[in-house]
Amino acid sequence: MSVRSGGVRRPVSMLVTAVAVAIATAPSVGATGVDHGAVVSATPRGDTPQFLDNEVLAGIQVGNRIVVGGNFTQVRDDTFGVKNQANLAAYDLTTGRLDLNFLPSVNGEVRALADAGNGTIIAVGAFSSVNGVTRKKVVKLRLVDGSVVTQFSANANSAVNDVAIANGKVYVGGQFSKVKGVTREGLAAVDLTTGAVDTGFNLPVTQGTGLNGAGGVRAVDVTPNGNTLVSAHNARLVAGQVRQGLAMIDISGPTATLLPWRTNHYDYDCHPNLSVTRPLMRDVQFSPNGAYLVVVTSIGNYAPGCDVAVRFPTAGGNGVTATWTSRLFDTPETVAVTDQAIYVGGHMRWLMAPGTEWDDWNNGNTNNQPDNTLARQQIGDLSISDGTALPWDPGATGQRGVLDLRVTDAGLLAGSDGEWFGGRQTYRHALFELPAGAPPVDNADPIATVGAPSAGATLNSPVAFSGTATDDAGVVDVLVSLRNMGTMQFLQLDGTFNDDGFQLHRTFVPGSGDTATPWQWTADLPDGNYRFTARAEDVAGKRGAVVTRNFSVGTVVDTQDPNGTITAPTGGQTLTSNTVNSTGTATDDVSVAAVSLIVRNRDTKEYLQGNGTFAAGWAKVPANLSAPGAPTTDWSWTGNLPDGRYKITLQVVDAAGKKDPTTAKRNFVVDA
Three-class secondary structure of residue 659 per DSSP: strand
Can you give the pLDDT at residue 541?
77
Q: 517, 529 in Cβ contact below 8 A?
A: no
Both 523 and 612 in one domain: the answer is: no
Instruction: Examine residue 612 and state whether it is found in any structural domain, yes or no.
Output: yes
Residue at 417: amino acid letter: D
Residue environment code for 291-315, b if the CB has 16+ CB neighbours within 10 A, otherwise e? ebbbbbbbbbbbbbbbbbbbbbebe
Contact residues for 551 (Cβ-Cβ < 8 A; gap 6+): 453, 454, 455, 456, 457, 458, 459, 463, 529, 530, 532
Instruction: Examine residue 213 and state whether it is found in any structural domain, yes or no.
Output: no
Both 567 and 618 in one domain: the answer is: yes
Both 650 and 577 in one domain: the answer is: yes
Cis upstream peptide for 446 (omega within 30°): no
Q: 268, 204 in Cβ contact below 8 A?
A: no
Both 474 and 505 in one domain: the answer is: yes
Can you give the pLDDT at residue 261?
98
Burial class, 273, CB count within 10 angstroms (exposed 0-12 / middle 13-18 / buried 19+): exposed
How far, in Å, CA of 510 to CA of 638, rounded?
Answer: 14
Domain encompassing residue 640: 563-670
Can you give the pLDDT at residue 440?
60
Both 533 and 596 in one domain: the answer is: no
Can you give the pLDDT at residue 129?
97
Instruction: Examine residue 645 and state whether it is found in any structural domain, yes or no.
Output: yes
Q: Is the dihedral of CA 304, 217, 248, 165 positive or negative?
A: negative
Question: How many residues are recorded in the chain?
Answer: 672
Both 600 and 649 in one domain: the answer is: yes
Instruction: Examine residue 522 and state whether it is found in any structural domain, yes or no.
Output: yes
Both 483 and 511 in one domain: the answer is: yes
Of 149, 196, 155, 193, which Cα lies nearest the Cα of 174?
Answer: 155
Q: 552, 457 in Cβ contact below 8 A?
A: yes
Picking from 504, 529, 553, the residue at the C-terminal end of a domain is 553
Can you give the pLDDT at residue 4?
30
Both 640 and 659 in one domain: the answer is: yes
What is the maximum span of the chain, computed from C-alpha positions, in angstroms?
Answer: 85
Question: In the chain, what is the straight-line distance between the N-terminal and C-terminal CA atoms, in Å?
Answer: 49
Both 514 and 574 in one domain: the answer is: no
Tell me how many domains the chain contains. Answer: 2
Q: How far is CA 183 from CA 176, 188, 203, 312, in A?
A: 9, 9, 10, 31
Q: Is the dihedral of CA 610, 613, 618, 623 positive or negative?
A: positive
Picking from 553, 577, 610, the residue at the C-terminal end of a domain is 553
How far, in Å, CA of 341 to CA of 328, rounded?
Answer: 16
* DSSP per-residue codes, 350-410: EEEPTT--GGGS-SS--SSPPTTEEE--SEEEE-TTT-PBPS----B--SS-EEEEEEETT
How far, in Å, CA of 229 to CA of 250, rounded?
Answer: 7
Instruction: Examine residue 460 and state whether it is found in any structural domain, yes or no.
Output: yes
How far, in Å, CA of 357 to CA of 383, rounded?
Answer: 13
Can you give the pLDDT at residue 255?
97
Can you give the pLDDT at residue 113?
97
Of 48, 163, 28, 160, which Cα lies nearest the Cα of 94?
Answer: 48
Both 504 and 528 in one domain: the answer is: yes
Picking from 553, 580, 603, the residue at the C-terminal end of a domain is 553
Instruction: Give the strands of the sheet with 411-416, arranged side by side.
Output: 402-408, 411-416, 429-433
- 182-183 and 178-179 beta bridge pairing: antiparallel
Q: Which regions in the chain score pLDDT beneath 50?
A: 1-26, 28
Can you give the pLDDT at residue 11?
26
Both 567 and 548 in one domain: the answer is: no
Instruction: Examine residue 314 and state whether it is found in any structural domain, yes or no.
Output: no
Both 580 and 663 in one domain: the answer is: yes
Instruction: Examine residue 580 and state whether it is found in any structural domain, yes or no.
Output: yes
Task: Give me the CATH number covering residue 600.
Answer: 2.60.40.650
- 187-191 and 228-233 beta bridge pairing: unpaired
Instruction: Examine residue 521 and state whether it is found in any structural domain, yes or no.
Output: yes
